[in-house]
């Protein structure tokens, strides 16, 4: 596949920004990978002509925009990360633990976090944020093909999910803890005072500058001693004095608070 030229990248970033996505945050290679197959499939060689052809065609615009919001996710993705997190969950005050799952995609990560609290009878809630209305609709429906549980620990699956006609649904007390919010992480994190922020499988799409900004914003959104969980794929873009490494494999970091 060819590479996008700088002026094409600029045109696409501008288009994305007009659609409400902070185009400058996304890496060039990612933009090209997501754009070119669709553009060439529609018979265009020129990014400008292709983007111009979308004017007045909202369904086509939405279809293109959705290519930049990759929803791949699973329940307890990288189970070892969840075990590591379970072992180091901070103590919460009377209000319970406040967990952020961002981006949450179709909800599997947020419901996994909810099960984590539920299984140890920890009071708390999970704010589940994503930019995609389609993904959040799936979360609100809370109905997943039963095979989504294939890799989940059997006891957890049996205790915290109800199976019905080929579908798996988190039980009501797991659902009740999850609060979905449509949110663009280009604007920062949705709220403050979190004890845990799961920020997984987003950095892979972002420029180094956008990653660094989000990490700084994560610090501001966490309580002192709160945990940032990046998971197996990503790591802190730069090691600062503000973070302690809690688990190097699971990429769990503790916000020391204040110091930068
Ligand atoms: C690969 S999923 C990650 C889901 C989950 N964190 C996980 O690790 O399984 C990436 C999600 O990022 C969302 N996303 C991309 N850019 C975003 C932005 N600027 N603000 C909020 N969500 C965004 C997409 O809609 C998509 O659902």
Q: For residues 61 and 91, state if they share a domain.
A: no
From the CA of 185, give the closest atom in ligand 1. Answer: 20
SS3 115: helix
Interval between CA 73 and ligand 1 midpoint (Å): 9
As for how many domains the chain has, the answer is 2
Q: Whose CA is nearest to atom 7 of ligand 1?
A: 73
Which residue from 64, 103, 108, 184 has its CB within 8 A of the most atoms of ligand 1, so it is best to mutate? Answer: 103
Which residue from 105, 209, 233 has its CB within 8 A of the most atoms of ligand 1, so it is best to mutate? Answer: 105
Q: What is the pLDDT of residues 179-188, one digit of tens each?
A: 999 999 999 9
Q: For residues 193 and 160, state if they share a domain.
A: yes
Interval between CA 167 and ligand 1 midpoint (Å): 23
Q: Does residue 33 lie in a domain region?
A: yes
C-alpha–C-alpha distance, residues 128 and 119, integer Å: 19
The stretch 219-243 carries a mean pLDDT of: 89
From the CA of 21, give the closest atom in ligand 1. Answer: 19
C-alpha–C-alpha distance, residues 209 and 156, integer Å: 39
Interval between CA 84 and ligand 1 midpoint (Å): 22
Q: What is the pLDDT of residues 248-259, one digit of tens each?
A: 999 999 999 864
HSE, CB side, 13 Å, CA atoms: give it for residue 234.
23
The stretch 143-148 carries a mean pLDDT of: 98
**pLDDT at residue number 260:** 43
Q: For residues 200 and 92, state if they share a domain.
A: yes
Model confidence at 238, in pLDDT bands (50, 70, 90)?
A: confident
Interval between CA 135 and ligand 1 midpoint (Å): 9
Q: For residues 62 and 97, state if they share a domain.
A: no
Helices 58-67, 28-41: inter-axial angle, 10-degree rounding: 140
Interval between CA 97 and ligand 1 midpoint (Å): 22
Q: Is the pLDDT of residue 217 over 70?
A: yes
Q: Does residue 181 lie in a domain region?
A: yes
C-alpha–C-alpha distance, residues 121 and 252, integer Å: 22
Q: Does residue 249 lie in a domain region?
A: yes
Which residue from 19, 20, 71, 130 has its CB within 8 A of the most atoms of ligand 1, so it is best to mutate? Answer: 130
Q: For residues 114 and 167, state if they share a domain.
A: yes
Query: Which of 21, 41, 67 corresponds to the end of one domain?
Result: 67
73 CB-near residues (< 8 Å, 6+ apart): 105, 106, 108, 109, 201
What is the sign, positive or negative, of the torsion defined by CA atoms of 252, 125, 69, 25?
A: negative
Q: For residues 243 and 197, state if they share a domain.
A: yes
Longest dimension (CA), the chain: 59
Q: Does residue 53 lie in a domain region?
A: yes
The stretch 237-252 carries a mean pLDDT of: 88
Q: For residues 124 and 240, state if they share a domain.
A: yes
Per DSSP, what are the bridge partners of residue 161? 170
Q: For residues 162 and 87, state if they share a domain.
A: yes
Long-range CB pairs of 164-170 (<8 Å, 24+ gap) are 167/143, 168/143, 168/144, 169/142, 169/143, 169/144, 170/111, 170/114, 170/115, 170/142
Q: Where are the alpha helices (DSSP H) in the chain?
A: 6-18, 28-41, 47-53, 58-67, 79-88, 108-119, 133-141, 154-160, 172-175, 208-221
Q: Does residue 243 lie in a domain region?
A: yes
Summary mean pLDDT of the chain: 94
Query: Which of 46, 67, 88 corresponds to the end of one domain?
Result: 67
The range of the structural domain enclosing residue 127 comes to 79-255
Q: For residues 102 and 182, state if they share a domain.
A: yes
Q: For residues 56 and 88, state if they share a domain.
A: no
Q: Whose CA is nearest to atom 12 of ligand 1?
A: 103
Q: Does residue 195 lie in a domain region?
A: yes
Q: Does residue 106 lie in a domain region?
A: yes
SS3 18: helix
Query: Residue 232: left if φ>0, alpha if ψ -120 to 50, beta else—which one?
Result: alpha
**pLDDT at residue number 258:** 62
Model confidence at 141, in pLDDT bands (50, 70, 90)?
A: very high
Q: What is the pLDDT of residues 203-212, one digit of tens each?
A: 999 999 999 9
From the CA of 74, give the closest atom in ligand 1. Answer: 9
Q: For residues 61 and 115, state if they share a domain.
A: no
Q: Is the pLDDT of residue 247 over 50?
A: yes
The stretch 103-127 carries a mean pLDDT of: 97
Query: Which of 67, 88, 116 corresponds to the end of one domain?
Result: 67
Q: What is the pLDDT of residues 48-107, one digit of tens each?
A: 999 999 999 999 999 999 999 999 999 999 999 999 999 999 888 788 999 999 999 999
Q: For residues 28 and 108, state if they share a domain.
A: no
Q: Whose CA is nearest to atom 27 of ligand 1?
A: 105
HSE, CB side, 13 Å, CA atoms: give it for residue 33.
10
- Give the domain CATH number at 215: 3.40.50.150
Q: Does residue 72 lie in a domain region?
A: no
Ligand 1 surroundings by CB, under 6 angstroms: 21, 69-73, 77, 103, 105, 109, 130-132, 135, 183-186, 200-202
What size, in residues, is the chain? 260
The stretch 233-252 carries a mean pLDDT of: 88
């Amino acid at each position: 596949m060819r590479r996008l030229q700088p002026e094409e990248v600029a045109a696409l970033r501008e288009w994305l920004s007009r659609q409400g996505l902070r185009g400058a945050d996304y890496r060039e290679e990612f933009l090209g990978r997501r754009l070119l197959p669709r553009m060439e499939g529609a018979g265009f060689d020129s990014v400008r002509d292709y983007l111009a052809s979308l004017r007045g065609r909202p369904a086509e615009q939405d279809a293109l925009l959705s290519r930049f919001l990759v929803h791949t996710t699973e329940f307890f993705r990288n189970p070892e990360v969840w075990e590591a997190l379970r072992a180091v969950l901070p103590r919460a005050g009377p209000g319970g633990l406040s967990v952020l799952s961002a981006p949450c995609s179709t909800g599997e990560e947020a419901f996994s976090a909810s099960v984590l609290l539920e299984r140890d009878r920890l009071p708390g809630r999970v704010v589940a944020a994503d930019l995609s209305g389609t993904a959040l609709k799936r979360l609100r429906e809370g109905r997943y093909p039963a095979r989504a549980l294939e890799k989940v620990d059997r006891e957890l699956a049996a205790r915290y999910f109800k199976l019905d006609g080929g579908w798996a649904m988190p039980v009501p007390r797991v659902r009740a803890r999850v609060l979905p919010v449509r949110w663009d992480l280009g604007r920062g994190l949705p709220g403050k005072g979190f004890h845990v922020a799961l920020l997984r499988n987003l950095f892979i799409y972002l420029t180094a500058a956008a990653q660094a900004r989000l990490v700084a914003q994560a610090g501001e959104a966490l309580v002192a001693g709160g945990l940032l969980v990046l998971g197996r794929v990503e790591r802190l873009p730069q090691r600062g004095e503000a973070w302690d490494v809690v688990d190097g494999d699971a990429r769990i970091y503790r916000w020391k608070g204040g110091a930068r």
